[in-house]
Structure 1
């Protein structure tokens, strides 16, 4: 995201409503990232910024084209002055904090992302490294810079393209950009099903959002463009303003991380932003929405929105790492306040000093050289520091007694056969290869227990195999990455999730499954409809004659076990190896309450934890392979405790707790 053009004027003069729109966008992003529960779709603020940026930049270029021609050197010098100082300052301060806080593997990853951010290829780095909604993403201080890179890549292309088309006298000028926007949108729809992570991060599938603003700026150029006739009526104009706000606010409040995105899901916020920009462009009586966006408090936040976006995520991530837990309500408020204070300081003392007034044409050649030279030096310096951090393995000399060792567990999941990846459909699943245990004494050959879920179901496999003699049938593993086992579940990361889950019913029917165990990372997507979908899924499974056993959310920790163990290396024996997990109690209670009669529910947290802490290690043995997935040893302990708590118990004594 690049809201750095705050204060930019259009042909009609300064637009306070655009700064207000920036404020809405950046506040949505900050509230989403800090974990405010009622803003589960705040990530759409980035899309609003894309539209604003496309509009403001194209409007300025169109004004230059009409006034004597586009000067590329001037354009890029302005971009450097507005973007680079605050970015370099943020990278420098974040890198200093990371040096003191992050252990070698964390710093190695951070250093790679810092180099990528400095070179405007952070979106490529994170595309290859992870997904935006992955659990690991919560601990990457520069993840948010992916959107800056998308915009900078767009700015490399747009001015050159516009200059060529103007010189070639292409008419209408907007037509090639409209064609590219349609192609980009179509590619986004396609990639949403076949390459969801690339769809999220890469310019070709995001360009249409910036081009919405670009096309808006290319409408007939003038100081007071009239609204379309159907919007000239005062009532319709007011309704259009409300519709524009709703296009942004409704997704912010209603979307979740399971919403297919971008693609069609990005249309409401993008079109809403475009409509609000267009309404604020006209002279005469303004719509109420335009007046609302122009209120001084929103304008003030909009002016500092670029710096606010830069500093908010490092504050959140490094704060969580330093505390080794999530924020309390008071700490959340403090982080938001600190973001705004730091952003105001950055705007006043970093951004503004570099935003020089326009100089006479005759002075430009003499002054542009230092701008480009200093930007190149700063970029290479940050990239070089990042390279040093990567090649050194995260500067391990800072923590000479830290050791990272492999933790067994995931190798038993049967990747790409029984545990499917996002690029696989359910047809890749192998019923024979995924029958994981043999016949037991007194067990009919047709008795089967289906384990259905995501990676938080697959992580029980080592324990279920170890305790196969206590299962009422042979274990059949049916799991897929990031796919919750509820009918109707959607995931932008796993486009085939819905079909995978629908096939589970056919599988239960075909194999005559008598016991179905549903397990997942139930809180992964901030989706408030999960309990309702679980209720419906359990009812449909029961209607097929199978007993339903639901395993609640298992404990998750703020850091990998190796990092927590290092931080606790001097703790007394009774405290070492235990830590407070991420809060899941209310979620498990909601899941338990949603289940129909006859379904069994077991709570892993109640079975494994004591008081407000849970074990992540027993002596030198780690029970977790990462922040939430059990290791082999952890899975064996967990399954033993869950079986004792009533999982798969005979119906007459089945437990609905603990």
Structure 2
């Protein structure tokens, strides 16, 4: 069983450059989640972590195999010591803050995710609960634990697989793992098109990233140093393969799949470069620098605490962060990470030496038993919180009431989901009004669909019968590519055929325009020009108000406010966005600015008395849609504008 691994025994030692690489990974993730605009692809730091984990874990198993044999119980005991204390400490502290801060519906979702995180299945939980209308990801404090669950599930498979392959004396050792990596990568490419949410969250489509590290650990160590010029070029290439995606990727980048190749291969190249004997390349020296190593050492704890800190701060403030607050959050993440490393990670990983036991196996049993008991206890608390509905007795005067709105969208017929193609759209069922000559097409995503109740309510003022053509997450711009909605490009291209085939005279474009703003403006102008070339009149509705929390939570926070301010809140929208959209379509389309028509100078109305104008953080309720469309029609949506002296929330 030792054959094939003995010659690697001298290759195992502490690698400060790997800790430096961990620092790169965690800083990319933290800066991205904190909202640093020049780090839109910082999420690739997770993929770098996967490669590092696969390498380090496999290297440790190979060392154990070379030293006498893999002890599965010992491996899991070490994993328990390494992972569980800091994770459970973070869950306990976060749960205390959540108990104090989160209202019942928020706490109920949090409690379910805490149970899943305790049992290492949070990736499955967020995959199953990531529907289009679920709680916004920005307000789920444990969302980041999905990546930990992926790693922990990988740890269940790797040691057993390696042990079996070694005992069967299969050679070459790396071949089964290479085959598994190829299969996983192929599955990721397929799922990226047909099951993007599963592709993001699940182990089968992420395993290849960890297996890149596994294969790297199995490769023979370089016998001699690389030529200096080659080493320096390789180091720059490795750094660029990580930094370029972090700086250039964004929400519309297809990911993972092929998009994850550059950061994963870049991480592997840097790790491999650090293995070479002799003179170290500049990239390796950079990664081994003391400040980066210090951050790398605390990277696990920093990763654990950063997202709960950001999310709970966002909920407490109920507004976007300022630049000084972002800096404070990053600093607090590093400080809390250092404290967790010093007082939680280290004591459990390196407990005081005790008298030797007669055998190794019994020494692992208390660790495994304690880890299982602690995990089950935390999971039980989470289950209790979910079963209670988020312990509503904490806020006895809080009530959740249903807000009508989305039920009029004709889900899966006129409002398509990510798993549907445009062929699922039904032209007869999606002609929503009758009695007019001609057709008016509403084209866009959910931020177009939320106007349907209002357009139906004011059907007599429309220039034609309303045709609803909407799809979740699909912005109405030609050429758009979305890994979340794989069929979006074809859906939008079909809109042109629809306009041409039915001779549609008026086309209304509406969407959540805020994401990927730099790509929106040129794409929108080209789309409007192509629609106008078909002879249709084009009307563009700009970005509508979005709020930091659901109206029910805002109303609860304002329950003691005077009537003149209750029901009003600052929108979480860049005020210059609609100005850019207006300029992009100037001369080609009518433009409606919802922020100007519906909001005052400082705030927008989310409620009028006891009536909510929004069903969630950004989608109009039925009442809100009716009021908004009335404003838009009066403001010139299909004709001449009529002066409107008051904002929506002030209307009688």
TM-score by length of 1: 0.94
Query: In 2, Cα distance between the equivalents of 1:397 and 1:623?
Result: 27
Is residue 473–residue 485 contact of structure 2 (8 Å, CA) maintained in 1? yes
Match for residue 506 of structure 1? 497
Q: Distance in 2 between matches of 1:203 and 1:278?
A: 25
Q: For residues 361 and 73 of structure 1, what CA distance do their matches in structure 2 show?
A: 16
Shift of 1:10: 8.3
Q: What's 1:379 paired with? A: 375
Q: 1:647, 1:654 within 8 Å by CA — same for their partners in 2? A: no
Aligned to 2:425: 429
SS of the residue corresponding to residue 477 of structure 1 reads strand
Quote the Cα distance in structure 2 between the aligned partners of 1:403 and 1:102.
Answer: 14
Tell me the distance in 1 between the aligned counterparts of 2:134 and 2:591. 26
Shift, 1:325, TM fit: 1.3
- Per-residue CA shift, 1:622-656, capped at 9, x if unaligned? 00000000000000111111122221226x9999x
SS class of match (2:483): coil
- Displacement of 1:528 in angstroms is 2.4
Mapping 1:101-500, distance limit 5 Å = 101-130=101-130, 136-220=136-220, 222=221, 224-226=222-224, 232-356=226-350, 362=358, 364-440=360-436, 445=437, 447-500=438-491
Instruction: Point out where structure 1 has 5 or more consecutive residues left out of the alignment.
Output: 1-8
Maintained 8 Å contact 2:224/2:278: no
Aligned to 2:186, the other structure's residue is in SS state helix
TM-aligned CA distance change 1:371 to 1:11, over 3 Å? same
Distance in 2 between residues matched to 1:555 and 1:171, nearest whole Å: 61
CA distance 1:209–1:404, shift in 2 (3 Å): same
Return the alpha-carbon distance in structure 1 between the equivalents of residues 69 and 607 of structure 2: 66
What is the RMSD computed on CA atoms of the aligned residues?
Answer: 2.0
* 1:225 Cα deviation after fit: 4.5
Say which SS state the counterpart of residue 476 (structure 1) adopts.
strand
Secondary structure in 2 aligned to 1:475? strand
> Which shifted more, 351-360 or 113-122?
351-360
Give the Cα separation in 1 of the matches to 2:358 and 2:327.
50
Q: 1: distance between equivalents of 2:201 and 2:249?
A: 18
Q: Distance in 2 between matches of 1:253 and 1:431?
A: 42
Where structure 2 has 5 or more consecutive residues not aligned to the other structure, the ranges are 1-8, 648-652
Deviation at 1:584, TM superposition (A): 2.5
TM-superposed CA distance for 1:247, in Å, is: 1.1
SS of residue in 2 equivalent to 1:385: helix
1:627 alignment partner, one of 617, 636, 641: 617
Give the aligned partner of residue 42 of structure 2. 42
1:361 shift after superposition: 8.1
Contact kept, 8 Å, 2:545 with 2:618, in 1: the verdict is: yes
- Structure 1 SS opposite 2:518: coil
**How far apart are 1:364 and its partner, in Å?**
3.1
Query: Structure 2 CA distance, aligned partners of 1:133 and 1:281?
Result: 48
Say if 1:131 and 1:137, in contact at 8 Å, map to a contact too: no
> 1:464 deviation in Å?
0.7
1:142-182 superposed Cα distances (whole Å, 9 cap, x missing partner): 00000000000000000000001001101001000111111
What CA distance in whole angstroms lies between the structure 2 residues aligned with 1:164 and 1:567? Answer: 58
| 1:610 counterpart SS class | coil
Q: Counterpart of 2:6? A: none
Query: 1:453-492 CA deviation, whole Å, 9 max, x = no partner?
Result: 0000000000111111111111111100001111111111
Partner residue of 1:575? 565
Q: 1:139 to 1:249 in 2, by over 3 A?
A: same
